[in-house]
């Protein structure tokens, strides 16, 4: 493992994320498919509809029998039957004949069009007048007109929404192949951190926050939070916990211990893990400089800052995209995720020479969505709740003025409801 | 029950939704709190931090010992100890003394400020020079400075985000009172509908789609989908299924059977349910006119159109807000949910005299989010997947031109990633 790597840009880290390989696939019942990512191209196995259907209430007829019909010279047809919803059509339509059909009803043999009920008049005695001509195919859907057998429905890498599940139900699927969600272990390290059930908290210690926030973020990103543990800054124990976590999980998040300083434990831990490949050691963003990314075979380890507000930003910027990628989300199919546009409410100064990720709160006033910067206080726990996401000020920019339209990277979907 | 009610506007229906009463409360562990809605105002039971902490690496000192210090005339202090992260401060600071402290470390007795390490010089022999004065309180947070004991954290009705769970962890909560999520039964009726496991589907029948789409939408809205069943258009069976569903669920969704026509089963079913109060019978929007809302004591029944695309729109417009309300979401705290702004990509014509809910697909191009209308084909199952949400053209407006900024009501949060 190289002893030192150049600090990477956010774009370089995201390029590494893009190259991550989706986990294996599993088959889930349709009831559990929403939010999952299809793992193979899915084609329709059947035609929808699978029979000729009326799309209007009216009469199934032979179109040629209506040619030339007008209000003053209507076509006269004999009603020989009725089609009921959900039943096969029993009567066939012969020359000069019509059969009553409801919207969605099956079209009887012999008929090739439906005359809307509005353009007919029941003149009694089982006879109707048709006052407008129909062409063959009018008001009828043919088998496969909606979805043709064999046609593509969803590409591998597509995250299924509620409505997509409806399409799968329509083509008769009861289960669907999807990528397996990543199992994520969350370790929080720091000699001052105690697990949250500790009560009272001894002098000098603080309760763990990161495993709670990160677990909620993992779940929201479609991952499965597994092991969650507070580990003291003890190299041997930390390495042992990481080895343990890596056996049962696809991803390990290790918050704290990764600042490039005296106690750069994360990198020292990685040195003790055989086969660990350090891909990122420091990112040129603030906060988030101490971010670490390593690979151990197919397993991923992220080192995150210990500061909760910073860990949340790094999770949103890098870890979430990696979890989506491991779930197989194809960025080409869903290029932009978890962002919204807003207008800066106040000036947002920034230091030239590094990318600043500045937290903002979203507000809606007079139909405008405003992004209001949350300045300072990133060490303050209370400030955690104030932000809905962040705005990136690139390294070559010295800040933005109030009124500038910006892209907000949302911490979670719930943030949108602010 | 009144035989006939005037068709209501969407605003009138939403006003009824706003008056719905949240369900009871339950206590959930913090691990399961994200996405849930707090049922009582929550205050901090403890101070955060609960001890005096350094916010910089440096030396804990008595501020008066540094008054007047400059680079040319530094104050000389004797280093009498060191504070370690997560440990109580062992040495006290007397006059002329200093103790090494890390960021986040406990402040020793006697000290009232921290001098940043940058403004000191170790001159050997256990002595440092301080080159800038500090005032009492500098670089120190007092107990409760971040979150004071007793201060309000979250109001009842606030949906907890990932970061909010972190704040609750910080104040030592291990569980939190939240509103109970609504249990929702989903019945799909229609003589032509068969349950999805039916294979082959008989001529004239089609597979149920609505229970799948609606169950996914219920889950996304925080509800618990329960009973899901396809019921034929038989008044007695439908009434029996509704009675059954209402015993175990808070809400019943009944799709199909509610068009104001020959087979207006939903209202006939309601007439058979004792204590049913019909609140809405028809809404002046398209699609969605046949929407029904009824109350049976504390239970809610929605009648939705049978057409999947229409059912989805009515769910998004009315049922989702009602599920959020039953979960206790306070609209005053989170006024705008599930919408985004976009620019119309093509003209959107509309008929004067009714509110049109026109489905759109979201596209991002050149930094602009476009809403592209999905015209026609609402009967087409394939069109289900094309839309991410809808735009409302109010009844007195005859459509919008391409380029008009519009609000898109999103079918789901996932839609945002389009």
Query: Could you give the CA distance from residue A266 to residue A5 in angstroms, rounded to a whole number?
Result: 14
Residue-wise pLDDT for B324-378, tens only, equals: 999 999 888 765 557 888 899 999 998 877 899 999 998 888 878 899 999 867 7
Where does the pLDDT of residue A4 fall: very low under 50, low under 70, confident under 90, or very high at 90 and above?
low
Query: Does any CB of chain A come closer than 8 Å to the CB of residue B376?
Result: no
Residue B173 and residue B133 in one domain: no
pLDDT at B190: 86
Residue A3 domain flag = no
CA distance A104 to A55: 6
Which stretches does DSSP call E strand in A221-275? 224-231, 251-255
CATH number at residue A350: 2.40.340.10
Cα gap A361→A416, rounded to integer Å: 10
Q: Are residues B268 and B401 in the same domain?
A: no
Rg value, chain B, Cα: 31
Mean pLDDT of chain B: 91
- Of B277, B300, B326, which closes a domain? B326
Whether residue A377 has pLDDT greater than 80: no
Count the neighbouring beta carbons within 10 Å of the beta carbon of residue B90.
Answer: 13
Beta-carbon contacts of residue B163 (< 8 Å; ≥ 6 apart): A213, A308, A312, A384, A385, A387, A411
Decide: helix, strand or coil at residue B242. helix
- B218, closest residue in chain A (CA to CA): A162
**Out of A49, A163, A364, closest to residue B206 by CB:** A49
Query: Parallel, antiparallel, or unpaired for β A292-296 and A276-281?
Result: antiparallel
In chain B, how many domains are there? 4
Of the candidates A89, A336, A411, the beta carbon closest to that of B162 is on A411
Model confidence pLDDT, tens digit, residues B5-38 = 589 999 999 999 999 999 999 999 999 999 999 9
In a domain, A133, yes or no: yes
Are A86 and B204 within 8 A, CB to CB? yes
Confidence of residue B414 (pLDDT cuts 50, 70, 90): low
Nearest to A185 by CA among A138, A137, A231: A231
CATH number of the domain to which A164 belongs:
3.90.105.10
B197 and B318 co-located in one domain: yes
Helix (H) or strand (E) holding B101: strand B97-101
Q: Is A155 on the interface with B (CB under 8 A)?
A: no
Closest residue to A106, CB basis, from B83, B204, B335: B204
Determine, yes or no, domain membership for B224: yes
**Of A407 and A176, more confident:** A176
Determine which helix (DSSP H) or strand (DSSP E) holds A54, and give its type and residue range. Answer: strand A53-54
Which member of B162, B379, B412 has the closest CB to residue A213?
A: B162
What is the percent of chain A where pLDDT is above 70? 94
Position A413 scores a pLDDT of 64
**Residues of chain B contacting residue A141, judged by C-beta atoms under 8 Å apart:** 379
**The two structure tokens encoding residue B271:** 């007439």
B377 lies in some domain:
yes
* Structural domain includes residue A334: no
Q: Minimal Cα–Cα distance from A33 to chain B, Å?
A: 9
Q: What is the pTM of this model?
A: 0.92
Answer yes or no: is A220 within a domain. Answer: yes
Question: Does residue B262 have a pLDDT over 50?
Answer: no
Distance CA A388, CA A210 (A): 17
User: Which residues on chain A are in Cβ contact (under 8 Å) with B334?
Assistant: 417-418
Is residue B271 domain-shared with residue B321, that is, in the same domain?
A: yes
Q: Do B204 and A163 touch (CB under 8 A)?
A: no
Phi, psi of B397 (to 5 degrees): -110, 140
Considering the domain architecture, whether residues A282 and A225 belong to the same structural domain is answered as: yes
Query: Minimum mean pLDDT among A55-59, A232-236, B165-169: which range?
Result: A232-236
What is the pLDDT, as a whole number, of residue A414?
55
Kindly state the average pLDDT of the residues A268-272. Answer: 87
Q: Which of A90, A121, A141 is the last residue of a domain?
A: A141
Rounded to the nearest angstrom, the minimum Cα separation between B347 and chain A is: 22
CATH number at residue A122: 2.170.190.11
What sign for the dihedral angle of Cα B345, B348, B354, B356?
negative
- Which phi and psi (to 5°) does residue B226 adopt? -115, -115
Does the CB of A202 have a partner CB in chain B at under 8 Å? yes
Same domain, A193 and A241: yes
Nearest CA in chain B to A414: B161
Do residues A357 and A387 both lie within one domain? yes
Would you say residue B2 has pLDDT above 70?
Answer: no
Domain residue limits at A87: 53-141
**Are A147 and B382 an interchain contact pair (Cβ–Cβ within 8 Å)?**
yes
Q: What is the pLDDT of residues A145-193, one digit of tens each?
A: 999 999 999 999 999 999 999 999 999 999 999 999 999 999 999 888 9
Test B170 with A381 for CB contact under 8 angstroms: yes
Q: Show the beta-strand stretches assigned E in B251-388.
A: 251-255, 276-281, 285-286, 292-296, 299-304, 339-344, 348-349, 355-365, 368-373
Q: Does A51 touch chain B (CB under 8 A)?
A: yes
ipTM over 0.95: no
CB interface of B with A, residues 210-269, below 8 Å: 210, 212-213, 215-217, 219-220, 232-233
Do B390 and B347 have their domain in common? yes
Contact across the interface for A174 and B164, Cβ inside 8 Å = no
Q: Taking 90 as the threshold, does the pLDDT of residue A269 lie above it? A: no
Do residues B234 and B317 both lie within one domain? yes
Give me A254's structure tokens: 């290790």
Distances (CA, A) of B343 to B352, B367, B403, B415: 22, 11, 6, 16
- Which residues in chain B have their CB less than 8 angstroms from residue A105's CB? 192, 204
Chain A: closest CA distance from residue B173 (Å) = 8
pLDDT of residue A415: 47
Residue A167: list chain B partners with CB under 8 A.
381-382, 384-385
Q: What is the pLDDT of residue A265?
A: 77
DSSP A324-346: HHHTT--TTTS---SEEEEEESS
Residues β-bridged to residue B75? B130
Q: Do B385 and A163 touch (CB under 8 A)?
A: yes
Write out chain A residues lying below 8 Å of B417, CB-based.
159, 334, 336-338
Query: Residues 273-312, chain A: which have Cβ within 8 Å of B?
Result: 308, 312
Are B383 and B312 part of one and the same domain?
A: no
| % of chain B at pLDDT higher than 70 | 94
Confidence of residue B4 (pLDDT cuts 50, 70, 90): low
- Tokens 């040195």 locate to A271
- Give domain status of residue A111, yes or no: yes
pLDDT for residue A86 is more than 50: yes
Gap from A70 CA to chain B (nearest CA, Å): 28
Q: What is the mean pLDDT of residues A364-383?
A: 84
Sort out which chain A residues have CB atoms less than 8 A from B197's CB and list them.
Answer: 174
CA distance to partner chain A, nearest, from residue B73 (Å): 31
Q: Using an 8 Å CB-CB cutoff, list chain A residues near B203.
A: 51, 88, 106
CB atoms B209 and A87 under 8 Å: no
Give the end of a domain, one of B278, B295, B326. Answer: B326
Share of chain B above pLDDT 90, in %: 73
The CB density around residue B139, as the number of other CB atoms within 10 Å, is 21
> Who among A154, A193, A212 is closest to B165 (CB)?
A212
Give A315-341 pLDDT, tens digit per residue.
999 999 999 999 999 888 765 557 888
pLDDT in tens, B85-119: 889 999 899 999 999 999 889 999 999 999 999 99
- List the single residue in B169, B364, B417 with the smallest CB-CB distance to A196: B169
pLDDT at res. B263: 53
- The mean per-residue pLDDT over the stretch A211-233 comes to 94
Model confidence pLDDT, tens digit, residues A234-246 = 889 999 999 999 9
Both B267 and B378 in one domain: the answer is no
Closest partner CB to B197 (pick from A51, A165, A174): A174
Closest Cβ opposite residue B162 in set A105, A217, A335: A217
Contact A411 B161 (CB under 8 A): yes
With respect to residue B108, please indicate whether it lies within any of the assigned structural domains: yes
Clarify whether residues A132 and A69 are in a common domain: yes
At CA B411, angle to CA B405 and CA B414, rounded to 5?
100
What is the pLDDT averaged over residues B296-315? 94
> How many C-beta atoms lie closer than 10 Å to residue B86's C-beta?
21
Pick from A233, A334, A387: which is nearest to B418 by CB?
Answer: A334
Tens digits of per-residue pLDDT, B219-235?
Answer: 999 999 999 999 988 88
């Amino acid at each position: 493992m190289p002893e030192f790597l150049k600090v990477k840009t956010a774009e370089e880290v995201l390029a590494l994320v893009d190259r991550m390989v989706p986990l294996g696939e599993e088959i889930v019942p349709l009831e559990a498919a929403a939010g999952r990512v299809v793992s193979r191209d899915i084609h329709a196995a059947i035609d929808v509809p699978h029979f000729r259907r009326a799309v209007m209430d009216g009469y199934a007829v032979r179109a040629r029998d209506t040619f030339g019909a007008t209000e003053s010279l209507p076509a006269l047809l004999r009603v020989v039957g009725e089609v009921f919803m959900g039943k096969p059509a029993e009567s066939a339509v012969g020359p000069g004949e019509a059969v009553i059909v409801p919207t969605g009803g099956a079209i009887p043999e012999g008929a090739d069009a439906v005359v809307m009920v509005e353009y007919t008049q029941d003149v009694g005695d089982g006879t109707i007048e048709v006052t407008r001509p129909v062409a063959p195919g009018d008001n009828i859907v043919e088998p496969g007109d909606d979805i043709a057998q064999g046609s593509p429905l969803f590409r591998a890498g597509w995250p299924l929404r509620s409505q997509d599940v409806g399409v799968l139900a329509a083509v008769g699927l009861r289960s669907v192949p999807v990528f397996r969600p990543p199992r994520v272990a969350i370790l929080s390290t720091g000699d001052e951190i105690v697990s949250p059930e500790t009560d009272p908290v001894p002098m000098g210690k603080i309760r763990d926050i990161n495993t709670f926030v990160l677990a909620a973020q993992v779940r929201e990103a479609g991952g499965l939070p597994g092991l969650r543990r507070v580990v003291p800054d003890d190299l041997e124990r930390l390495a042992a916990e990481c080895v343990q976590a890596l056996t049962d999980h696809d991803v390990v998040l290790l918050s704290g211990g990764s600042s490039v300083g005296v106690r750069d434990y994360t990198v020292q831990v990685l040195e003790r893990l055989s086969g660990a490949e350090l891909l990122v050691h420091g990112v040129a963003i603030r906060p988030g400089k101490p971010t670490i990314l390593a690979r151990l075979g197919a397993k991923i380890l992220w080192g995150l800052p210990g500061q909760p507000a910073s860990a949340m930003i790094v999770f949103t910027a890098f870890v979430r995209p990696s979890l989506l990628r491991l779930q197989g989300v194809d960025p080409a199919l869903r290029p932009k995720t978890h962002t919204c546009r807003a207008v800066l409410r106040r000036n947002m100064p920034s230091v030239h020479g590094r990318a600043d990720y500045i937290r903002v709160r979203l507000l809606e006033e007079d139909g405008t969505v405003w992004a209001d910067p949350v300045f300072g206080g990133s060490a303050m726990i209370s400030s955690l709740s104030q932000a809905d996401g962040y705005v990136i000020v690139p390294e070559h920019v010295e800040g933005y003025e109030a009124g500038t339209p910006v892209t907000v990277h949302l911490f979670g979907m719930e943030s949108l409801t602010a």
